[in-house]
Amino acid sequence: MRPIFTVHAGEYLVAAKIEETFPLIRVWIPSKDDGVDLLVTDKNCRDSISLQIKFSKDYLGNGVKPEIATTIKSGGWWTFKREKIVKSPADYWVLVTYSFHNRDSDLIVIKPIDLIRLYDALGNQERINSYVWVTNSKNCWETRGLKKDEQLLVTQDRFTDETRSLKKYLNNWSMIQSLCVSNS
């Protein structure tokens, strides 16, 4: 075990959100970096969920068209290796988008197998480039590879390709809620 470690911004944001939302839940930081960034347990430390956290700064920035900037709450960009997702020991991956403009974050909480299914459906192979947009109306989309007119549809809440939808994973803490119930 290394005696000195750091917690990155995404890990901090996720841990803080969990502790704020679920005061009886405990959040732990593993001492070894083996693919699990946070361990979440019930109050009795009997049941647990492991999380891999992936943080992205707000890449929307100043160079974005106004019609996008005004309707997209936050956007994240990641490059993943397929094998790391497939072999992940974590129960869930949490993709963290942070908006410096709004000083707010959104969390996409998804099982690794569901993440792979999404990327498979979109034709991604070994190296996966992922762009995720969260709209002000609480929709969430994988936008990598969308044409300009499709991007506009996302901003207008008229985009309908359900294979790209991440809405059901957006800020979805049902698995942690189940920890609260399991030992109450």
What pLDDT, in 10s, does the model give residues 59-108?
A: 666 667 777 778 889 999 999 999 999 999 999 999 999 876 777 889 99
Interval 128-157: pLDDT, tens: 999 999 999 999 999 999 999 999 999 999
Q: Which domain holds residue 162?
A: 9-178
Which residue, among 136, 131, 126, has the nearest Cα to 157 in the 3D structure? Answer: 136
The total domain count for the chain is 1
Between CA 177 and CA 184, with CA 181 as vertex, the angle to 5 degrees is 135
For 143-159, b/e burial (b = at least 16 CB within 10 A) is bbebeeeebbbbbeeeb
* Spatial distance between the Cα atoms of 30 and 40, rounded to a whole number of angstroms: 11
State whether residue 73 is helix, strand or coil. strand
Q: Give the helix ranges, DSSP H, for the chain.
A: 9-21, 66-69, 82-86, 112-121, 148-155, 174-182
**2 within some domain:** no
pTM for the whole structure: 0.92
* Spatial distance between the Cα atoms of 42 and 16, rounded to a whole number of angstroms: 16
**183 within some domain:** no
Residue 83's pLDDT is 96
**97 within some domain:** yes
Task: Fill in the amino acid letter for 140.
Answer: C
* Spatial distance between the Cα atoms of 9 and 98, rounded to a whole number of angstroms: 10
Statement: residue 4 has pLDDT above 60: no
**28 within some domain:** yes
